[in-house]
């Protein structure tokens, strides 16, 4: 931590939370928004912020902001011309240790580096932790930043349900949020001149290039769709094969159709990572199967074509099995290019850093529609993410935090009104 003991190391910060939300069943970590592990991480973040004398506030959408005030009059929390960095604390089920927390820990370490350098500027700096970036609990990725930016209707957000059937409104209220007030916050966004999110790389770009840190260029367009296949629940032993209307057979065909549709287009990706049969018994033919499709391509029209092809196949398969199928789009974000001018300034600070795009979604991708936004990626030696195999070596984590500090210092020192 700062003053007394010098800048914290990213590895040291992550070490403090290494046991929070470990998932003995899946391996890795499961840190779902507003569940115990994520709430513990929020407390940890607030405590780290307070140790650094940052001013902490939780916004109307549940994001935690830790402000390092500027030197101008009224330069504290929420003051204008802010430079903001941060990421998220929640995870996918059985995820890795770095996706999200690396960006938060690097931001805290960067604050220490700025303190150690004696950087004091008119502009304030804020470190933010967004809730439900992964959408692992309520199904919509980047829920916190979408609400902030007005990219999701607050009524729809309130009505989202988790796997236990609890609504977002109920769960968020239980965690202390005034859920009547969730929604767009244009005044907050208007006070931000730049947002830079550091994130562990979720691919092998930096490994192949032999570099520790990259500047992000764009995020592949991506979305989530839910197929609900309904058939007839029945006994696995007494129901003859020709008499069945088994939605699981249709679901299996949809999984293969998704792969085939993506393979037919270079750069396309389609994944079914979650299948939920109802009632879900070994000796029971399911009455319904829900499955979730994640599809991505740099060209939004191709993504739409891939999904349309899978939907066509799903209808054909359902008809053949005497089942019915519906398709619901749960979220979609088109391809996002980060702010060219801001990314150019990052490149001046980090001339060695390669420029990489990513197939992964981020809060930065949502905020890019509203404010100048950029990203930094830190090398991941396995190239694997959303899995316990995700990795980041200590030296690279420190290089990432130093790069972030350099970038933040540059942006903070820019005269107010120039950005
Ligand atoms: Zn992430």
With the C-alpha atoms ordered 381, 386, 387, 393, is the resulting torsion angle positive or negative?
Answer: positive
Q: In 181-230, where do the E strands start and end?
A: 192-200, 213-219, 221-230
According to DSSP, the β-strands at 213-219 and 373-378 are antiparallel
- Assign 199 to helix, strand or coil: strand
Per-residue confidence (pLDDT) for residue 4, from 0 to 100: 52
| Ligand 1 centroid, distance to 134 Cα (angstroms) | 7
Kindly give the distance from the C-alpha atom of residue 223 to the centroid of ligand 1, in angstroms, as a whole number: 15
- Exposed/middle/buried for residue 235 (C-beta within 10 Å: 0-12, 13-18, 19+): exposed
CA of 337 to the centre of ligand 1 (A): 17
275 CA → ligand 1 middle, Å: 22
How far away, in angstroms, is 119 Cα from ligand 1 center? 29
* Mean pLDDT for back-to-back runs of 10 residues, the chain (419 residues): 72 98 96 98 98 97 97 77 97 96 98 97 97 96 97 97 97 97 97 97 95 95 94 96 98 98 95 97 97 93 96 98 97 90 97 92 94 97 94 97 98 79
The pLDDT score that the predictor gives to residue 3 is: 46
pLDDT at 78: 72
d(CA 343, CA 212): 17
CA distance 225 to 330: 5
Q: How far apart (Å, rounded) are the C-alpha atoms in residues 412 and 418?
A: 11
Q: How far is the CA of 17 from the centre of ligand 1 (A)?
A: 16
- Spacing, Cα 73 to ligand 1 middle (Å): 35
Helices (H), 72-162: 101-116, 143-149, 154-159
Q: What is the pLDDT of residue 220?
A: 87
Q: How many Å is the maximal CA-CA distance in the chain?
A: 78
Comparing C-alpha atoms, which of 398, 403, 383, 389 is closest to residue 202? 383
State residue 417's pLDDT score. Answer: 63
Task: Tell me phi and psi for residue 377, to 5 degrees.
Answer: -115, 140
Ligand 1: centre distance to CA 115 (Å) = 27
CA 278 to ligand 1 center in whole angstroms: 30
Q: Cα of 362 to ligand 1 centre, how many Å?
A: 6
378 neighbors 197 (Cβ within 8 angstroms)? no
């Amino acid at each position: 931590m700062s003053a007394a003991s010098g800048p914290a190391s990213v590895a040291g910060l992550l070490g403090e939370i290494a046991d929070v939300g470990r998932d003995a069943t899946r391996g890795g970590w499961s840190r779902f928004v507003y569940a115990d592990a994520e709430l513990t991480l929020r407390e940890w973040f607030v405590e780290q912020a307070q140790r650094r004398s940052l001013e902490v506030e939780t916004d109307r959408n549940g994001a935690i902001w830790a402000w390092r005030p500027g030197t101008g009059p009224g330069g504290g929390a929420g003051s204008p011309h802010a430079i903001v960095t941060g990421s998220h604390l929640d995870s996918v089920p059985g995820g890795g240790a770095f996706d999200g927390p690396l960006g938060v820990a690097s931001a805290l370490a960067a604050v220490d580096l700025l303190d150690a350098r004696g950087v004091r500027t008119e502009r304030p700096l804020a470190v933010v932790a967004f809730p439900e970036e992964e959408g692992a609990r309520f199904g919509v990725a980047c829920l916190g930043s979408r609400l902030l930016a007005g990219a999701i209707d607050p009524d729809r957000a309130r009505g989202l349900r988790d796997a236990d059937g609890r609504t977002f409104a109920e769960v968020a209220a239980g965690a202390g949020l005034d859920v009547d007030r969730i929604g767009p916050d244009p005044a907050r966004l208007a006070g931000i001149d730049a947002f830079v999110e550091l994130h562990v790389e979720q691919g092998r770009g930096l490994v192949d290039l032999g570099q520790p840190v990259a500047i992000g260029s764009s995020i592949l367009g991506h979305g989530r769709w839910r197929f609900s296949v309904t058939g007839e629940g029945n006994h696995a032993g007494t129901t003859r094969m020709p008499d069945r209307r088994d939605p699981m057979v249709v679901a299996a065909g949809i999984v293969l159709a998704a792969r085939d549709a993506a393979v037919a287009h270079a750069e396309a990706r389609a994944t079914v990572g979650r299948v939920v049969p109802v009632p879900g018994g070994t000796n029971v033919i399911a009455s319904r199967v829900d499955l979730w499709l994640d599809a991505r391509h740099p060209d939004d029209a191709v993504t739409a074509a891939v999904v349309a092809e899978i939907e066509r196949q799903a209808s054909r398969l359902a008809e053949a099995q005497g089942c019915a199928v519906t398709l619901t789009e749960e979220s979609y974000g088109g391809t996002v290019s980060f702010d060219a001018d801001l990314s150019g300034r990052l490149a001046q600070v980090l001339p060695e850093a390669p420029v990489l795009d990513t197939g992964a979604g981020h809060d930065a991708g949502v905020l890019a529609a509203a404010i100048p936004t950029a990203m930094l990626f830190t090398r991941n030696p396995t190239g694997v993410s959303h899995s316990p195999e995700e990795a980041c070596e200590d030296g690279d984590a420190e290089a990432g935090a130093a790069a972030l500090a350099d970038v933040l210092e540059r942006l903070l020192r820019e005269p107010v009104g120039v950005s």
